[in-house]
Amino acid sequence: MVAVGKHPRWHRVGSISDLRHLKPVTGFVSGSLRNEVTPSFVSRLTLPLRASVYGTLTSEGTTFRGFEEPWLVDTEAVGGRLEVLVVSEAGEGLADSARADDKVKVAIGRFKTDHDWTQVKKGDRYSTAVTFQQPFENVPPIILGFNKLDMGKHESALRLRLFPQNVVKDSFICNAEAWGETYLYNVFVNWMAIAEPRWETGVLKTIANNPSALLDNRVDFEKPFSSPPMVFVCFSGLDMVNQWDFRAQATNIDHTGFSISLIASSATWVGVARVSWIAIPGEDVLTRKNAWIGRFSTTAESAVHNGSGEWTGSVRFGFQFKATPKIFIGVDQLAFSNEKNLQLYTDIRNVSETGMDWSIKQSGNSVLKGAGVSYLALDCA
């Protein structure tokens, strides 16, 4: 292989504009049809088994070798996953600048509580001040969700509310509270501050006052998208009595809006529900490849129940990220027996560019019947 300078970068082949400022690096490989050494652009194709081949590429019987114009290669034939090693013709900093432009402009974090349950009182509120590492240019919208919840049983009422307060360009107050007769022992609150101008976000608050139902709540986007977006939803507030069996999901998505469907069992009475949501342009997902929305649950195809109140599994993202993404998660479904405390813990681990492992489990004496979690994988700073 020839010398490539100090800062070569892999660049996905997709269009002429992708490589207009970049110069492919040339190497040498053995020809596959004749015993010869052939100059070829230094390329790679990620295969299903996560193996990589360089130089001469073969996929489903099609051989690519000696590209003269690598950005004109038919990428459909290789699933759009062909990459070429490049350097910038306009200076080494350009590739880094283009890479930075692809990163999602968000900040994410987690507020954890760790209280002695004997000191907790009914209707307690827990708060913390969050300071962003870098101030935003404008006051960002804040989205909240939870992935751990420990609440006490009291007359079968489960009441929780997560909300931001005093949001400014460099900080906000993150709050979690119970009310009425409910004990909130501990909670992990995940937060996201968003500065993506093409994303839309919000919190749906609905008063159900319905013993059991499928409730559809239409959300209209402030500005229509050019095509249906990907939509993330999770709970940021709950008020359930009797049985604890409730789910939120995004349905009927089109370019102008979507519905948040709230599904309760026949024995669940829902008073108030708060659902956080994020809509991401579909074309951003396809071209920038910096965000992916998905879900895992105890009923997922990959779910394995170990017999002691824990389910584990794995998910694969819709494409391979350029770097290991950060993950924002929020519970969107709960199904617990109301005869014991509710103690739920969900987690993700072994995150890579292509997927991650997950777990959903009960703790203490709680009885978990089912749960689901929405996730947002992000290539962000």
pLDDT (tens digit per residue) in 145-168: 999 988 876 566 788 999 999 999
Average pLDDT of the residues in 125-141: 94
pLDDT tens-digit map of 345-363: 999 999 999 999 999 998 8
Phi, psi of 197 (to 5 degrees): -65, -25
Please check whether residues 49 and 127 belong to one and the same domain: no
* CA–CA separation, 63 and 73 (whole Å): 11
Please check whether residues 287 and 202 belong to one and the same domain: yes
| Mean pLDDT over the full length of the chain | 78
Residue 14 covered by a domain:
yes
- Using the 3D structure, point to which of 86, 102, 118 is the last residue of a domain: 102
Residue 192 covered by a domain:
yes
How many CB atoms are closer than 10 A to CB 248?
Answer: 29
Phi, psi of 265 (to 5 degrees): -70, 170
Please check whether residues 63 and 173 belong to one and the same domain: no
pLDDT at 378 > cutoff 70 = yes
Please check whether residues 296 and 233 belong to one and the same domain: yes
- Using the 3D structure, point to which of 48, 80, 102 is the last residue of a domain: 102
* CA–CA separation, 246 and 234 (whole Å): 12
Cβ–Cβ < 8 Å for 107, 190:
no
pLDDT tens-digit map of 189-236: 999 999 998 999 999 987 655 544 567 889 999 999 988 999 999 999
- What are the angstrom distances between the C-alpha of 268 and each of 158, 248, 332? 11, 14, 16
| pLDDT-derived band at 65, boundaries 50, 70, 90 | very low
pLDDT for the residue 103: 87
Average pLDDT of the residues in 317-344: 90
Strands 310-316 and 106-112: unpaired
Task: Please enumerate in sequence order all residues whose Cβ is within 8 A of that of 16, keeping only pairs 6 or more positions apart, or say none.
Answer: 71, 72
* CA–CA separation, 8 and 38 (whole Å): 21
pLDDT for the residue 20: 52
Average pLDDT of the residues in 243-255: 88
pLDDT more than 90, % of the chain = 41
* CA–CA separation, 145 and 168 (whole Å): 20
- Using the 3D structure, point to which of 85, 102, 119 is the last residue of a domain: 102
Give the range of the structural domain holding residue 61, as residue numbers without chain letter.
9-102
| pLDDT-derived band at 89, boundaries 50, 70, 90 | low
* CA–CA separation, 162 and 202 (whole Å): 13
Cβ–Cβ < 8 Å for 200, 256:
no
Residue 34 covered by a domain:
yes
More confident residue, 336 or 297: 297
Please check whether residues 29 and 114 belong to one and the same domain: no
Listed residue (203, 197, 122, 193) closest to 162, CA to CA: 203
Residue 317 covered by a domain:
yes
282's tokens: 């579909």
Please check whether residues 82 and 216 belong to one and the same domain: no
Residue 53 covered by a domain:
yes
Cβ–Cβ < 8 Å for 316, 323:
no
Residue 4 covered by a domain:
no
Please check whether residues 162 and 210 belong to one and the same domain: yes
pLDDT for the residue 264: 77
User: For 220, what's the count of Cα atoms within 13 Å in the CB-facing half-sphere?
Assistant: 1
* CA–CA separation, 348 and 320 (whole Å): 18
More confident residue, 250 or 5: 250
Residue 1 covered by a domain:
no
Residue 2 covered by a domain:
no
Please check whether residues 167 and 285 belong to one and the same domain: yes
Count of all residues that appear for the chain in the document: 381
- What are the angstrom distances between the C-alpha of 162 and each of 127, 158, 315, 338? 10, 14, 27, 22
pLDDT for the residue 164: 96
159's tokens: 């009441």
37's tokens: 């050494």
Phi, psi of 98 (to 5 degrees): -65, -40
Please check whether residues 249 and 317 belong to one and the same domain: yes
Question: What total of structural domains would you count in the chain?
Answer: 2
pLDDT tens-digit map of 258-295: 999 888 776 776 777 899 999 999 877 777 889 999 99
Average pLDDT of the residues in 299-313: 87
More confident residue, 88 or 297: 297
Please check whether residues 145 and 94 belong to one and the same domain: no
More confident residue, 41 or 380: 380
pLDDT at 107 > cutoff 90 = yes
* CA–CA separation, 165 and 81 (whole Å): 43
Of 2-16, 58-72, 80-94, 146-160, which gets the smallest average pLDDT?
58-72
Please check whether residues 254 and 207 belong to one and the same domain: yes
pLDDT for the residue 62: 40
Average pLDDT of the residues in 70-91: 52
Please check whether residues 369 and 220 belong to one and the same domain: yes
Task: Please enumerate in sequence order all residues whose Cβ is within 8 A of that of 85, keeping only pairs 6 or more positions apart, or say none.
Answer: 4, 8, 9, 10, 11, 24, 25, 41, 42, 43, 44
